[in-house]
Amino acid sequence: GRRIQLCRPRCGHGAHGQVVASIVPGRQHGVPCRRRARQRLGDHAHPQPARPIPGQDAVARIEPQVVVSSSPPATTHLIARRLSRDLGVPWVADFRDPWVGRVTYNPPTPWHDARHRSLEREVVLAADRVTVVSDAMAALYRERYPELPRERFVTVPNGVDS
């Protein structure tokens, strides 16, 4: 048989009913509870917002011709992806820093690393254009996503030389 174990008290917030492990005889597969996963995944815990996006009606009323999102935080891309789809307009995802592999990138578990990589891939594949701050960063994304046309990645530098 199989039984479900709920959050343990050591989780820090008591047993609030989130499944943290499924136990099969002789074997345990640990999965972090949702609250703990949100704390560790941070900004990227809710990739598909189920609720209406605040202000979406106001945005629709101005009839934008394009949706532009800039990260960090990466949540802006997830919201923009949905807005673009719902409004039927193109979407430009602007990366000021790489989502995966930036200097501060330090996922707590392999699961978190895989989730970040998956979300980045979803964003890059869904965006009509991806802007980045340097030619080196464009090369990084072109190498990471060789199946996409090179033109998908456009460099827009942070500053201007005078």
Question: What is the per-residue pLDDT across 6-62, written as a single tens digit (0 to 9) for each?
Answer: 333 444 433 333 333 323 333 333 444 444 444 444 444 444 545 667 777 777 788
**Alpha-carbon distances of 1 from 36, 127, 156, rounded to whole Å:** 27, 45, 57
Q: Of the candidates 68, 126, 67, 77, which has an alpha carbon nearest to the alpha carbon of residue 98?
A: 77
Between CA 39 and CA 21 the distance in angstroms is 18
Answer whether residue 119 shows pLDDT above 70. yes
Which residues on adjacent β-strands are paired with residue 68? 92
At 15 the pLDDT is: 35
Do residues 86 and 56 touch, judged by C-beta distance below 8 A? yes
**Alpha-carbon distances of 6 from 1, 15, 24, 113, rounded to whole Å:** 17, 6, 15, 24
The sign one gets for the Cα dihedral 97, 119, 83, 50 is negative
The one-letter amino acid at 9:
P
pTM greater than 0.75: no
Answer whether residue 122 shows pLDDT above 80. yes
Q: Could you give the 3-state DSSP secondary structure of residue 162?
A: coil
Q: Of the candidates 15, 27, 127, which has an alpha carbon nearest to the alpha carbon of residue 78?
A: 127
Q: What integer best gives the mean pLDDT of the chain? A: 74
Answer whether residue 144 shows pLDDT above 60. yes
Percent of the chain with pLDDT over 70: 66
Task: Show contacts of 100-108: CB within 8 Å, 24+ apart.
Answer: 101/140, 107/40, 108/40
Residue keyed to tokens 């709920």? 6
Per-residue pLDDT band for 101 (boundaries 50, 70, 90) equals confident
